[in-house]
Structure 1
Amino acid sequence: MSQIAGAKADIPLLITEDSRYWYRQGKRFDDQECYAEAVACYDRALINSPNAYWIWYNKGCALRELGEYESAVASLKEASALRPNDYWAYYNQACILIEDLDQFEDAIATLNKALAIRPNDYWTYFRRGDAKRHLKRYEDAISDYDQALSIRPNDYWAWLRRGDACRHLKRYENAINSYEQAQAIHPQDFWSYYKLADTFRYTEDFAAALKNYQKAIEIKPNDEYAWYNGACCAARIGDISLAMEYLESTLLINPNFQELLKNDPDLVIIRDRGLLGDLLREINCLN
């Protein structure tokens, strides 16, 4: 889902012949995914052409690939200072601030500058919604996701994240609708089923939750959480046989769930019937 992107690179003005050579070398190393070498070339290019936007921009992108996130943001800020009306330097700064540095307030301020340049850009609204969601500003996040969806109404991720924000606000019907929209767009993705199941579970509609956990398991059969939560829902609706089957699958994937089984209130009916001990002994023998 990460989207570091940029406009077509060109050889900028304000660049000497020597710098042009090192800039092109840096681009070649970029194309070969040799990012340390690319950064070294861009640094050589900047010696004689310190005001060249594209050198700073490409250096920032290469530094991100190297995991040098603070330095990447600093380089992209230099690019923005040289071209304050260029969308991409702001947008890519924000991606790093959100995805790599968890600096969400700074990301929002940067995305505001990007939106001033491109007021109808889907990705900027989506990223700003993500930053606000991380800050637990869920109402504002929903507003940004709605703006994103007004531009791109069939976008899976915006519906999914909108559902997350609604769920945090305990607006479960809105969350369910958002997750169902995501499912309709991307019917083979694990997360929309899993998150929808969780939401039904919060509303104590355990049958609907179980149905969605089952679909999630079909897509991702080695996810122990889907098996375990499905077991809890099966126990809550009284399907003991299915609950035991799902608990066994959970423990075969991850035996560390054993302690959770002993205290989970959803599994009282399993413990009251004395079924848990035999299951744990069987799993421990297998391991």
Structure 2
Amino acid sequence: MFNLLQPIVEFYTNYKDTINNLLSGAFPAIVGYFGWLIWRHRQRRIPEKSYQALKIKPDDYEAWYNGGNALVNLGKLEEAIASYDQALKIKPDDHQAWYNRGIALRNLERLEEAIASYDQAVSIKPDYHEPWYNRGIALGNLGRLEEAIASYDQALEIKPDYHEAWYNRGIALFNLARLEETIASFEQATKIKPDKGQAWYNKACCYGLLGNVDLAIENLQQPINLNPDKYREMAKTDTDFDNIREDRQFQDLISP
């Protein structure tokens, strides 16, 4: 009688090393994928659990707050905001709920409302650097650059090693054409995070605008070391380098 398993057994016997190697290499990815599925399932379950709790106890702050967080993770931002609003009716002095509400509003590009939410967070907890930082981003996106810089300054007073705040502060200063201050801000960002190529590049742009060939080249060399193709291509057409474009050293640097 023909054994249906025989071809499978023979195949495995002949190629078992290859099969085992493939499974061994794939195992972490498989585990990671199933871990993600479990996490996603649990996130979907959290709002359900929260709503069940709220049927029993409608003034359960934790249920509203946790439900809001889970809804954000699921991308249901409008529902998340409504959930945070309910939580804040019960506990209006929770800085974290105000902050998370602000993030959800920012992701919906409702920037004025996001700023108002961040304002509530920092009025309750003035030493919380994240709302100050995200407030700065929202203000910058609205073109309110001086206010954005002041907000970044508040974040940096609390957390001086916050390289993202130094970097975005530099962007705001650059848009105000305050180049010397821009350079100082990007300098802080690169001291804290030396592999932040865009900060090095932007600093080089400032020196290019100022016509300082040596410092432009010195700073442009850093991002090119990190990602040669990307930053060489950017520099080739970036008008910030027009003042030094004909310099031989600059041309040598941007040519592979």
> Same fold by TM-score, threshold 0.5 exceeded?
yes
Q: Which of 102, 105, 115 is 1:97 aligned to?
A: 105
Equivalent position of 2:22 in the other structure: none
Partner Cα distance (2:55, 2:170) in 1: 49
- Which residue identity is paired with 2:113? D
Equivalent position of 1:185 in the other structure: 192
Cα offset, 1:31, TM superposition:
8.3
- Which residue identity is paired with 1:238? R
Q: Structure 1 residues 172, 179: closer, same or farther in 2, change over 3 A?
A: same
TM alignment of 1:18-167, pairs within 5 A:
32-34=39-41, 35-98=43-106, 100-167=107-174
Check conservation: 1:207, 1:237, Cα contact below 8 A.
no
Equivalent position of 2:236 in the other structure: 231
Partner Cα distance (1:74, 1:117) in 2: 21
Cα offset, 1:244, TM superposition:
7.0
Q: Which of 228, 232, 245 is 2:255 aligned to?
A: 245
Quick check: which one's helix share is greater?
Answer: 2
Consecutive unaligned residues of structure 2, counting only runs of 5 or more, are 1-35
Secondary structure at the counterpart of residue 60 of structure 1: helix
Q: Structure 1 residues 36, 123: closer, same or farther in 2, change over 3 A?
A: same
- The sequence identity of aligned pairs, in percent, is 32
Which moves more between the two structures, 44-53 or 84-93? Answer: 44-53
Check conservation: 2:156, 2:165, Cα contact below 8 A.
yes
- Which residue identity is paired with 2:71? L
Q: What root-mean-square deviation, in Å, do the aligned CA atoms of Structure 1 and Structure 2 show? A: 2.4
Q: Deviations over 1:162-220 (max 9, x none)?
A: 11110010001100010001111111222211221232233343543333233112223
Partner Cα distance (1:60, 1:132) in 2: 24
Q: TM-score, normalised by structure 1?
A: 0.68
Consecutive unaligned residues of structure 1, counting only runs of 5 or more, are 1-28, 247-287
- Which residue identity is paired with 1:118? K
Cα offset, 1:143, TM superposition:
1.0
Q: TM-score, normalised by structure 2?
A: 0.75
Partner Cα distance (1:220, 1:36) in 2: 40
Partner Cα distance (1:172, 1:184) in 2: 18
Cα offset, 1:64, TM superposition:
0.9
- Which residue identity is paired with 1:76? Y
Secondary structure at the counterpart of residue 32 of structure 1: helix
Equivalent position of 1:212 in the other structure: 219
